[in-house]
A and B are shown apart, each in its own frame.
Chain A
Amino acid sequence: MRRWLVALIITAGGAAGAAASGLERVPAIAHPATAKECGECHMAFQPALLPAGSWLRIMDGLADHFGEDASLPADLTASIRAYLAANAGRSGDPKITRITEQSWFAKEHRFRSAVWQRPEIKAKSNCLACHPRAEQGNYDDD
């Protein structure tokens, strides 16, 4: 009985650990303009991966988007901004705009720096290098 109980606790603990961020499965992007425009230079990240405040900062600063000019026509920017904010995640720091700098990301990605430097990865934001179903919002494969 006691051994069962220990096993049960370990299993439950493991499950809670794996779902710590709650972001292993997020809804796929359901807004064609967001999928298209945000998916040209990098994978289009699902709105649930950042809180609304972060998305608003990003969408209000496209002229200097992490060093690149990613400006879009005003109507397109407004439409994408509204979609991202309405479907944003509930956790995360709204002052941080990089998904890879959110605290949950670090907890879920404790790798040696040599892993990040693999040529097929190139950047921490390259979800698809390790999560082949990332574009469908499925990161549940580690």
Chain B
Amino acid sequence: MNRPVLLATALVGVGMAAAAAEPARDAIVAAYSRQAQNENQAFDGFSTARGERLYLGPHTGGNTETPACATCHTFDPRAPGRHVKTGRAIEPMAVSVNPRRFTDAADVEKRFTRDCPNVLGRPCTAEEKGDFITFLINR
């Protein structure tokens, strides 16, 4: 038995939750992709680089206290964040350290609905939502 197989076998137990959650995340990304195509004929897939720029900012137009997603979530999405107003701890955004991220469609949409106006001063497009998630899947 080679090492990757051994490793994979060992990880089956601990990896169950994360592995089981992936189809839900894929479905959320697929739904935003369909929506992005409807919003923009020229849409040609989500971009990690655009997602990173969106995450890091800084942006103008939103709440001056929150010029970027990174304001609360920190510049390293693998680190825990902190709500800028209340001090509430926020679980890391990066899927690599927090596999439960982006697995509940209603929760994901609720957070975008609340946070995009705070940061950008407007709702996010479906392309921006998909870029954002794609960036954090790859972190």
Residues of A within 8 A of B (CB): 40-43, 68-70, 72, 120-123, 125-126, 129
Contacts and interface: CB of A to CB of B under 8 A. Distances in A.
Contacts, number: 31
B87 A126 contact: yes
A42 B82 CA distance: 10
Please list the 3 inter-chain residue pairs (A to B) with the smallest Cβ-Cβ separation, ordered nearest first.
Answer: A122-B87, A126-B87, A42-B86
**Which of the four size classes fits the interface of chain B?**
10 to 19
B114 A123 contact: no
B62 interface: no
Nearest to B89: A128
Interface SS of B by simple majority:
mixed
Interface SS of A by simple majority:
loop
Contacts of A41: 83, 85-86, 88
Contact of A43 (B82, B88, B114, B118): B88
Given A69-B117, A70-B114, A129 B87 contact: yes
B86 A122 contact: yes
Contacts of A68: 85, 114, 118
A42 B90 CA distance: 10
B87 A123 contact: yes
Contacts of B86: 41-42, 122-123, 125-126
Given A68-B85, A69-B117, A122-B87, 20 more contacts: A40-B88, A41-B85, A41-B86, A41-B88, A42-B83, A42-B88, A68-B114, A68-B118, A69-B114, A70-B114, A72-B110, A121-B87, A122-B82, A122-B85, A123-B87, A125-B86, A126-B86, A126-B87, A126-B88, A129-B87
